[in-house]
């Protein structure tokens, strides 16, 4: 019932962020697995494919972006919480200019790992920070109305931008190295290269043995073209996969989904700045 209210009143920001906070408390309590990724790293793509695989494998009639709610429909479905974990549990960031609550995109470079997550099995999804920061820029300017300066060069220097992305990746890398047997490390770029193989890795980690037909159907369902169609028609009836402005392609949740797409937006000076910071600050395990 709360989930339906959430989608009905998704424009009421205070309700939305209070819902998120309480929903995370629920997920902390019941989940067996947690998918972790910085925003714009591809977790919507992965969760859509998993939702389709679950519906086919377990004979469910409906799909839900909140996979943990699908687990309530039938016994045996793994309980998977999906978090970004870029802010405190109840993060309320109010914009006086727009008179709205902006939620989890707090203007800070700080990240942390909440205590409940230190005992969960983790699917750790990452993406090239250069693609992440460009995609985040469009998300915060075109979808969330959080950032009001249409300048990529300035955005890169903001504390909640590139700095936070690098801090986040390094922090979770340390946690992964602390308990490697409880982590599954997935790179967005590898998902693009061989989607079926990486989705199979995730399902094996969840101890679900699906058929090749189901695997391939889930991959096809999560194709970029189909994701865009679903967003245009609001198939999931969920504000998180809904076009903000149908006439503006940059405002879509599914924009380009391109590896190396940052080259279309970063000038040589910005690219040099990012590359230098990645080489100096980011753990080499990521391969970026």
Whether 155 shows a pLDDT value over 60: the answer reads yes
Position 260 scores a pLDDT of 80
Helical segments of the chain, H only: 2-8, 13-30, 43-57, 67-70, 129-138, 152-156, 164-178, 188-193, 195-205, 212-221, 224-233, 268-281
Q: How confident is the model at residue 84 (pLDDT cuts 50, 70, 90)?
A: confident
In tens, the pLDDT along 27-49 reads: 899 999 999 999 899 988 999 99
Q: Which of 147, 173, 163, 123 is nearest to 277 (CA)?
A: 163
Please, what sign has the CA dihedral across residues 230, 232, 234, 240?
Answer: positive
Position 18 scores a pLDDT of 67
Instruction: Tell me if 106 sits within 8 A of 125, measured CB to CB.
Output: no
Whether 89 shows a pLDDT value over 70: the answer reads no
In tens, the pLDDT along 98-116 reads: 544 455 555 678 888 989 9
Q: Which residues are registered as beta bridge partners of 126?
A: 187
Place of tokens 């309480």: 22
- Counting residues of the chain whose pLDDT is more than 70, the rounded percentage is 74
Position 262 scores a pLDDT of 86
Q: What domains can you pick out in the chain, each with its CATH number? A: 2-286 (3.40.50.300)
Output the six-digit token pair for 48.
């859509």
Number of Cβ within 10 Å of residue 231's Cβ equals 21
In tens, the pLDDT along 195-240 reads: 999 999 999 999 999 999 999 999 999 887 887 776 666 655 555 5
Average pLDDT over residues 87-91: 55
Average pLDDT, the chain: 82
Q: Which of 35, 34, 39, 56 is nearest to 220 (CA)?
A: 56
């Amino acid at each position: 019932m709360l989930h339906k209210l959430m989608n009905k009143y998704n424009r009421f920001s205070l309700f939305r962020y209070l819902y998120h906070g309480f929903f995370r408390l629920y997920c902390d309590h019941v989940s067996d697995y947690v998918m972790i990724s910085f925003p714009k790293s591809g977790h919507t793509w992965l969760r859509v494919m998993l939702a389709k695989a679950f519906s086919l494998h377990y004979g469910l009639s409906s799909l839900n972006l909140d996979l943990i709610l699908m687990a309530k429909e039938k016994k045996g479905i793994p309980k998977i919480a999906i978090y970004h974990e870029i802010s405190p549990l109840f993060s309320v960031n109010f914009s006086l200019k727009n008179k709205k609550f902006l939620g989890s995109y707090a203007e800070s470079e700080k990240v942390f790992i909440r205590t409940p997550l230190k005992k969960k099995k983790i699917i750790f999804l990452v993406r090239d920070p250069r693609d992440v920061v460009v995609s985040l820029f469009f998300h915060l300017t075109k979808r969330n109305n959080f950032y009001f300066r249409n300048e990529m060069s300035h955005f890169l220097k903001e504390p909640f931008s590139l700095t936070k992305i690098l801090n986040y990746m390094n922090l979770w890398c340390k946690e992964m190295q602390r308990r490697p047997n409880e982590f599954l490390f997935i790179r967005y770029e590898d998902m693009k290269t061989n989607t079926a193989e990486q989705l199979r890795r995730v399902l094996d980690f969840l101890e679900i043995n699906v058929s090749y037909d189901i695997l391939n159907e889930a991959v096809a369902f999560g194709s970029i073209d189909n994701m865009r169609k679903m967003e245009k028609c609001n198939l999931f009836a969920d504000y998180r996969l809904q076009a903000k402005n149908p006439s503006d392609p940059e405002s879509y949740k599914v924009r380009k989904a391109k590896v190396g797409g940052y080259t279309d937006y970063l000038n040589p000076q910005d690219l040099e700045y990012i590359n230098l910071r990645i080489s100096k600050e980011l753990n080499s395990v990521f391969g970026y």
